[in-house]
Amino acid sequence: MTNLKPVDVAIIGGGWSGLAMAKEITTRSGLNVVVLERGMPRKTSDYALGMDELDYAHRLRMMQNIADETITHRHSVRDVAAPVRQYGSFLPGTGVGGAGEHWNGAAFRFMPEMFTLRSHMNRKHGAAKLPADLDVQDWGVTYDELEPYYWYSEQMMGVSGKAGNLRGKILPGGNPFEAPRQNEYPTPPLKNSQAMDLFEAAAKRLGHHPYTSPAANLSQTYTNPDGVTRPACAYCGFCERFGCMVGAKSQPSNTLLPVLQRQKNFELRTGSWVRKIVHKDGRATGVQYVGANGEEFFQPAGLVVLASFTLNNVRLLALSKIGTQYDPSTRKGTLGRYLTHQVDSATRVFMDKPLNLFMGSGALAMRLPDFDGDRGLKPEEGLLRFGMLFMLAPGSRPIANFAALPQGAAPKNWGPEWKKAALQWADRVITIGLAGEHLSYRGNFMDLDPTYTDKFGDPLLRFTLNWTEHEHKQRDFAAKLAVPLGRAMGGKTDEYRNPRANYNVINYQTTHVQGGTSMGASPDMSVVNRYSQHWNMSNLFVIGASTFPQNPSHNPTLTVLAHTYFAADALIKRYLKNPGKLA
């Protein structure tokens, strides 16, 4: 192993969280920072050619190669986990920018109660009435504390949207139930699609409050406070699972990298696969990694930031033997605890005319906030929390969207009648989905697999995860709301997923996998403090959605960024002046 020259800060992972932290440290302190990214370099011009649906969207060109590393999964501790050999339910990224290159761009703030969910639920239901295996926690940080950092993140990306609550004043066009914002969005909302207009009109007729989602896909040319200018979205529809060819979708490569590349104290080392955080006497001393040519290095560092997404944030801490593994039988230990994903559902609506669905943008959507959190839920639904229904207009691409047929439209899945029906229904099928809150439970967690290893022989991460009756009921309720909506739009509806199925690693849901290195107010219940600093190792910070103790319904990345900036502020203003515990 080659020992390298020490650096001040080593950051593991070059996605949104790692590069955002790198930008704050390099531009606001004199420290030198190296970002170690296992994947390859990327830039906007890489995406200008060859937006091939088969290559990017189906063969997952930009995602982690599961021949190198995957996870194993089992539904409960009574089962034996098997490796996931075909990605589906989530799609971890790799390469510069991480999954932030091929994300959709939905850029939500969480509601205030989501940061204090345990207290909120105790107040609302009484602690004794909550299910015994419910594991939700308060975060140790509040919405009001994060509000300025949300705004900082929105400005950096140029989020397009309309405020629904500006400093307490409810405004038309936005989400009337959102928490107060201090500023209007940097750019106006994207343009609605035809189908969104139909959904909006139908939802309003049914008494709901639909609004156009905030999107990190620019509605107009925008220059951010760092002086980075990007053009407006062309509604090309090759957005989710692709990098944006014009740079309209905010990606780390087109927002943060241009600033970082001007910094002399910044180095991005690609092809660097970190295997371990090295530590001694309660302090991180650096990281051990394998370079692109297979050579092993030790990079000494004064400070280590772990920003390698939920899966590897948990796995690298476990491989490095930092912290105590959670054990569901005793409820002791914190590493790997609070694993959550997101509850989805899909009701298809078949319309009688073409809708030009091929035009769209990754995060373009109409959302229904009326039942988010516990708003509007009646006791007979049997639900503690719900989420938001939405109608996404990301652009229907030819392979993924061909031959979505109503049940019984063709006798077989092939042949002339099937072809005729496929053409008849092309461009007429829309989906009403659910972004449902996923609560954390005692039995869902991550640890190291005892059997299977990655390409280096290191144990894979094991998921123990299944849906509970609560998630099944969330899906029942989603269908109960979506079917009348689809009918009010003038369509015929059906549901194409079994609402009571077990957690399935094959069907894509979202890449909003959270928990495992949760933040909190005490080391008994969490891995990091509210500043993302490891409780046991003050020169180790862990950032990203692995620090969320449960999954709020909204997409996580804007909160990942806001919390990264909150942590960066404490690190730069307080830790660097007086290294030690921040909480």
Ligand X SMILES: Cc1cc2nc3c(=O)[nH]c(=O)nc-3n(C[C@H](O)[C@H](O)[C@H](O)COP(=O)(O)OP(=O)(O)OC[C@H]3O[C@@H](n4cnc5c(N)ncnc54)[C@H](O)[C@@H]3O)c2cc1C
Report CA dihedral (372, 374, 375, 377) to the nearest 10 degrees.
110
Question: Binding ligand SF4 by CB under 6 A: which of 246, 403, 488, 582?
Answer: 246
CA 38 to CA 64: how far, in whole Å? Answer: 10
Binding marks (x or -) toward ligand X, 33..52, rule CB under 6 A?
A: ---xxxx-------------
* Whether the Cβ atoms of residue 517 and residue 335 lie closer than 8 Å to each other: yes
217 binds ligand SF4 (CB under 6 A): yes
Of 100, 140, 258, 520, which one interacts with ligand X (CB under 6 A)? 100
Among the listed ranges 227-235, 270-278, 346-354, 439-447, the one in contact with ligand X (CB under 6 A) is: 270-278
13 contacts ligand X (rule: CB under 6 A): yes
| Residue 328 CB neighbour total at 10 angstroms | 20
Q: How far is the CB of 524 from ligand X (least distance, A)?
A: 25
Would strands 537-542 and 533-534 be described as parallel, antiparallel, or unpaired? antiparallel
Q: Using the rule CB under 6 A, which residue among 4, 130, 201, 234 binds ligand SF4? A: 234
**Least distance from C-beta 451 to ligand X, angstroms?**
20
Which is closer to ligand X, CB of 103 or CB of 386?
103
What sections of 158-192 are H helices per DSSP? none
* 322 contact choice in ligand X, ligand SF4, none (CB below 5 to 8 Å, kind-dependent): none
Which one of 363, 392, 429, 519 is in contact with ligand X (CB under 6 A)? 363
By the rule CB under 6 A, 273 interacts with ligand X: yes
Give the residue carrying structure tokens 């029906």. 421
> For residues 200 and 210, is the Cβ–Cβ distance under 8 A?
yes
Please give the helix or strand (H or E) that residue 300 lies within, else none. strand 296-306
CB of 394 to ligand SF4, least distance (A): 8
Q: Does 544 bind ligand X (CB under 6 A)?
A: yes
184-to-154, 155, 266, 508 alpha-carbon distances in Å: 10, 10, 33, 33
How far is 252 from 233, CA to CA, in rounded Å? 17
Q: How far is the CB of 65 from ligand X (least distance, A)?
A: 10
Q: Give the DSSP letter string of 451-499.
A: EEE-TTSPEEEEEE----HHHHHHHHHHHHHHHHHHHHTT-EEEE-S-T
Residue nearest ligand X, Cβ-based? 15
Burial of 545 (0-12, 13-18, 19+ CB in 10 A): buried
Among 11, 17, 134, 152, binds ligand X (CB under 6 A): 17
240 binds ligand X (CB under 6 A): yes
Residue 248 makes contact with ligand SF4 by CB under 6 A: yes
Contacts of 527 (CB under 8 A, 6+ apart): 317, 323, 334, 335, 516, 517, 518, 519, 534, 535, 542, 547
> Of ligand X, ligand SF4, none, which one does residue 246 interact with (CB within 5 to 8 Å by kind)?
ligand SF4
DSSP run (H or E) holding 201: helix 194-205
Tell which residue, 240, 202, 88, 106, has the closest CA to residue 493.
Answer: 202
Q: Are strands 346-350 and 492-495 parallel, antiparallel or unpaired?
A: antiparallel
Among 23, 42, 102, 118, binds ligand X (CB under 6 A): 102
The reply to whether 94 sits near ligand X by the rule CB under 6 A is yes
Q: Is residue 115 a contact point for ligand SF4 (CB under 6 A)?
A: no
Binding pattern for the stretch 463-492 against ligand SF4, x by CB under 6 A and - elsewhere? ------------------------------
> Using the rule CB under 6 A, is 14 a contact of ligand X?
yes
Does residue 63 sit in helix, strand or coil? Answer: strand
Question: In whole angstroms, how large is the CA radius of gyration of the chain?
Answer: 23
Applying CB under 6 A, among 511, 518, 526, 539 the residue interacting with ligand X is 511
Decide if residue 213 touches ligand SF4 (CB under 6 A). Answer: no
What x-and-dash track marks residues 179-218 binding ligand X by CB under 6 A? ----------------------------------------
Spot the catalytic one: 120, 279, 512, 534. 512
Q: State the minimum distance, in angstroms, from the CB of residue 293 to ligand X.
A: 15
Tell me if 288 sits within 8 A of 273, measured CB to CB: no
Alpha helices in 371-428 (DSSP H): 398-401, 416-425
Measured from the CB atom, the residue of 137 and 509 that comes closer to ligand X is: 509
- Determine, following the binding rule CB under 6 A, whether residue 10 of this chain makes contact with ligand X: no
> Among 524, 540, 14, 557, which residue's Cα sits nearest to residue 270?
14
Residue 542: its H or E element: strand 537-542
Question: For ligand SF4, which residue of 146, 239, 301, 303 counts as binding (CB under 6 A)?
Answer: 239
Closest-CA residue to 352 (of 459, 489, 457): 489
CB of 399 to ligand SF4, least distance (A): 17
- Is the Cβ of residue 186 or residue 237 nearer to ligand SF4 in the bound state? 237
| Identity of the amino acid at 412 | K
Does residue 362 bind ligand SF4 (CB under 6 A)? yes
DSSP 3-state assignment of 284?
strand
239 binding partner (options ligand X, ligand SF4, none; Cβ < 5 to 8 Å by kind):
ligand SF4
CB nearer to ligand X: give 134 or 513. 513
- 340 touches which of ligand X, ligand SF4, none (CB within 5 to 8 A by kind)? none
Separation in Å, CA 291 to CA 1, 67, 94, 274, 296:
11, 18, 15, 9, 6
Interface with ligand SF4 includes 302 (CB under 6 A)? no
Q: Is 73 a catalytic residue?
A: no
Q: Label the pairing between strands 71-74 and 459-464.
A: parallel
- 335 vs 392 by CB, closer to ligand SF4: 392
- Contact between 161 and ligand SF4 by CB under 6 A: the answer reads no
Q: Is 429 in the site for ligand SF4 (CB under 6 A)?
A: no
Which residues have a catalytic role annotated?
512
**Interface with ligand SF4 by CB under 6 A: which residues?**
217, 233-239, 242, 244, 246, 248-249, 361-362
**Interface with ligand X by CB under 6 A: which residues?**
12-18, 36-39, 91-95, 98-100, 102-106, 240-241, 272-274, 307-309, 312, 363, 511-512, 544-545, 555-557, 560
